[in-house]
Amino acid sequence: MQKMITMKELGKLAGVSQSAVSMIVNGRAKEFNISEETARKVLEIAKQNGFRPNAMARSMRTGHTGIVGILVSEESMRQMAANYGNNGNAMQLQAGFLLNGCRVMLESVSKDACEKQIMPELLTSGLADSIIVCENFTDEEASHRYLEKIHANFSRLLVVDDVSNDQIPSVTIDDVQAGRDAADYLWNLGHRKFGVLCSEDVRIALGTRLTAFQKRVAELSGGNSPVFSAFAGDKWQINCGSVAAAKLLAEHSSLPTAILAANDFFAYGAELEFLKRGISIPDDLSLVGIGEWPVAASAPVPITTFSMNMKEKIDTVLALWKKLQERPVPAVNDCRVKGHLIERKSTRRIENA
């Protein structure tokens, strides 16, 4: 077995002192005014020679573990196990951090822990140097209180979702722009009669999307195009969109020509309900979602959506995370990533009525 190179030997190969090597491999090059070029050189030689700093010793010396913690709700874990729901964030972010040489720990948070404000073990144990939250955990009011308490005790926190407290940095889709873009897209296809679908529990992000859509339709039509709405179903259940679609059909005798679902998850369920009732997608009805649920692309009729570019999203999270590693921790603003149209087979152009 090849003997692992020491810091002293690494310093000789790179032409720098052992203390400089220590500062660089412990992520403190900038703090001690070591140039980026020198740091890159040392890290590249370290990688070529299989050098790995002793994580336990480093954490005892510096008080930092180098671990990124990712928090996910217990409900999302159940959805992940059942292979449904919007669960890509945690896995894709984990992969992004791992590919950037970070160590990652994943922890689920129960509804009870959130409501009782029980801090996650990643925080109380000191295991993680920074924490990424992939979503709101339960009802929004409890979730926001929970995130505020975590942030009060731990400044290196980043939320990949909407959060009402503008002191907590977050990365999310620009919900207002997504709603407006969906309205423009359907209007340009010739649609003049619209519907919106959402769960009975309308979270802030979902409500923002639908409100922006409705306002834009009003602008485009001068207030003359109707927008029917249906809010029904449990947001955590896969049939939520089906329940909302059934309610829309029951309450309105005249069918819209285009519907925006608050997210892809609801759009998928709605499509199944419409098809079951003999309503053709997109011949009778165009359907659009918003979000990043991969299953929407493999629906019976693949669903058109406005979604983040996942690479852009991960790159944005990584860039903000790097800022949060600075000492002292700087103020970091929210990043609203513009949604991108992914046009599939659930929409079509129609002649104006």
For the chain, the farthest-separated pair of C-alpha atoms sits apart, in whole angstroms, at: 80
User: Percent of the chain at pLDDT above 90?
Assistant: 33
Structure confidence at residue 315 (pLDDT): 87
Q: Which two tokens stand for residue 62?
A: 């510096």
Q: How far apart (Å, rounded) are the C-alpha atoms in residues 307 and 310?
A: 8
Tell me, what's the pLDDT at 143? 87
Average pLDDT over residues 319-337: 80
Q: What is the DSSP string of 24-51?
A: HHTT-TTTTT--HHHHHHHHHHHHHTT-
Rounded to a whole number of angstroms, the CA Rg of the chain reads 24
Q: For residue range 162-194, list pLDDT tens digits in order.
A: 666 778 888 888 999 999 999 999 999 999 999
**Could you tell me the domains of the chain?**
7-54 (1.10.260.40), 67-168 (3.40.50), 175-308 (3.40.50.2300)
CB 288 within 8 A of CB 305: yes
Q: Report pLDDT digits (tens) over 15-38.
A: 988 888 888 877 677 777 888 888
Tens digits of residue pLDDT in 136-160: 676 788 888 898 898 888 888 888 8
Strands (E), the chain: 67-73, 103-109, 130-133, 157-159, 171-173, 194-198, 227-231, 258-261, 286-290, 304-307, 335-337, 340-342
pLDDT surpassing 50 at residue 1: no
Q: Please, what sign has the CA dihedral across residues 147, 152, 158, 164?
A: positive
d(CA 147, CA 141): 10
